[in-house]
Structures are given as C-alpha cells and as structure tokens.
Structure 1
Amino acid sequence: MDGSLHIRPGIFVEEDELEEQFIRASGPGGQNVNKVATAVQLRFDAANARHLPERVRAQALKLAGSRATKEGHILIEAGRYRTQEQNRADARARLTELLHKASEPPPKPRKKTRPSRGAVERRLKEKAGRSGIKKMRGKVSAD
C-alpha cells in the first residue's frame, strides 16, 4: 500500500493530508483505559484536499454534519477497539466510506409525466360506473 486512501478512480486522499492524534478512550476497559491512549482522532482537511473535486468536497462536508468544523476539517473519533491499530483502521475506513458516499453521482432529475388521454378517459369512465353503483345502493322509494 502506498499510504493513501483510494475512494474511486481519480479520487483519493494522500497520507500527508491526514492527521492522527491518539487520545484516551472512554468506556469499559479497566485500568488499561486510564493508562493507554488507544482511541484515535483522525483529522482530514477536506477544504484543502488536493485530489477531491469541488462537488465531492462540498458533499463530504455536508454529510459529515457535526463532525465537520468551520475551517473545513472532518474529525472522526474511533475508540471502539482496544488497540491503536484497530481504531486507526476503523477511523480510516469510516472516512473512506464517508468520501465514497460523497463521491456518488447526484441522482438524475425526475421528468414530469402526464397520463395519456386514453388513461384519463378510462379513469373517468370507471369513476362514473362506480358512482352509478353507489347511487343504486340508496333507499328504495315507494313509487
């Protein structure tokens, strides 16, 4: 591996664009949790990423939500596992997933369609028939 995260062809993140900081994890783990900094905080400067198209950059920051800072950085914290290496891999996988989702092509715009004249006529004929059936259900008059 050359040290970069490959998202799609032509879209990748180089190693020097990622900044990792190891912090103490919260949650269970006994004394180990108080002594060893196993959780990782991955910081990615999406605003200045060299190999991200503008559309992908904007979509990534939008998808990141509260994990994005005002400066355009994406912060991902991973503390699920008990080792630094597993948490590091987890944080990178989550960043890759986020950028992969952001790089999907936008959905095609919906084309408005109209029912054909025949379909409209069939619908109105069916409604008239149904109306006639329901009118027949009324009270019988004493004529």
Structure 2
Amino acid sequence: MATFPSPRLEREELVVTAGVRIPLREFDFEFMRSSGPGGQNVNKVNTKVRLRWSVAGSSSITESLRERIQDKYRRRITVEGEFLVTSQRFRDQERNRADCLEKLAGLIRDVAVARRTRRPTRPTRASKERRLDQKRRRSRRKQLRRSPGDQE
C-alpha cells in the first residue's frame, strides 16, 4: 500500500504554520467521479475530491496573508472568492481529501512569509577598483593579441 501525505490536523483544524491554523469547518468538500485508471471503481465510486475554501470570508488568516493568497493564486479563486483545490491522485476518497488539505497547506505556506523588500546597496570602493583593474587587464590582453599593423 502506498504512503500518502498526512496533513497536520489538531483539534479539528489544519495547521499550516505555527501561526496559521484554519478550522476544518471553513472547508467544503465535494466528491465526484474520478478520471483515469481504476476499472469499475472509477465508474461507481466518488473518489475525486474538490476542496472549497472561502478566502474572503475566512477569519483565521490575517488581512496581509489574505491579500498575498489572492494575488498569487487569483486563477484558483472563483468569482465568489472561493479557493479551489482538487485531488484524484488516489483511488479512495479519504486519501484524496487528505491530499487536498496538504496541497492547500503547501500553497498557503508558500505565501505565508512576506518577502522582505530589497534595500539598495552601493558597490564598495575596493570592488570598483577591482572591476576597473580587471577591465584594464582585459584591454591590455586584447591589445597584445593585435598585430602591429592594426593600430588605428
């Protein structure tokens, strides 16, 4: 039997990071028939899972995190403001449900830490001198390659 990722669930909530925990009651799960191999099982059992999460209506995330999620994943968010994640990787519903939660946690983890803005820096005097010295050496090397009749 294959192992599958098990999302961290504590007291009925999905633990994304130490500071981000989302209650499972905020998620809606839809189950439908999966595509791909699986024989009769595929035709009879609703194993594909679609997770819907209202990003706009969630009280468990900060406003800045909400904005970063909406900016980065705008194609995954419906007009109603619901974040969609689907899984049909496994042949049973429960593992696909866990896979959806793990995918969502990974996506949120990617934007959970705000990117630090770059502070512009100036090159040091020594680095400028090294660069100019290298330019002089390169120029001299190329001058020496020229034949004596090439001077302009």
Instruction: Tell me the TM-score normalised to structure 1 length.
Output: 0.84
Question: In terms of mean alpha carbon deviation, does 45-54 or 117-126 score higher?
Answer: 117-126
In the alignment, structure 2 segments of 5+ residues that lack a partner are: 1-9
- The percent identity for this pair of structures is 37
Whose radius of gyration is greater, 1 or 2? 1
Seen in structure 2, the aligned counterparts of structure 1 residues 43 and 111 have a Cα distance that, compared at 3 Å, is: same
Q: Which residue of 1 is the match for residue 109 of structure 2?
A: 100
Query: 1:112 & 1:99 partners in 2: Cα distance?
Result: 29
**Contact 1:63–1:98 under 8 Å retained in 2:** no
Aligned to 2:99: 90
The answer to whether the 8 Å contact 1:23/1:38 transfers is yes
**Cα distance in structure 2, aligned partners of 1:10 and 1:72:** 23
Distance change in 2, residues 1:112/1:22 (3 Å): same
Count of residues in correspondence between the two structures: 140
After superposition, the Cα gap between the structure-2 partners of 1:124 and 1:73, relative to the gap in structure 1 and judged at 3 Å, is same
Q: How far is the alpha carbon of 1:66 from its aligned partner?
A: 2.4
Instruction: Tell me the TM-score normalised to structure 2 length.
Output: 0.80
Amino acid at match of 2:64: R
* Counterpart amino acid of residue 136 in structure 2: A
Deviations 1:11-58 (A, max 9, x none): 211121110111111111111111111111110011110110011112
For the residues of structure 2 that align with 1:129 and 1:120, how far apart are their CA atoms? 14
Match of 2:117 in 1: 109
Moved more, 21-30 or 106-115: 106-115
Quick one: distance in 1 between partners of 2:86 and 2:130?
59
Structure 1 residue runs without a partner (length 5+): none
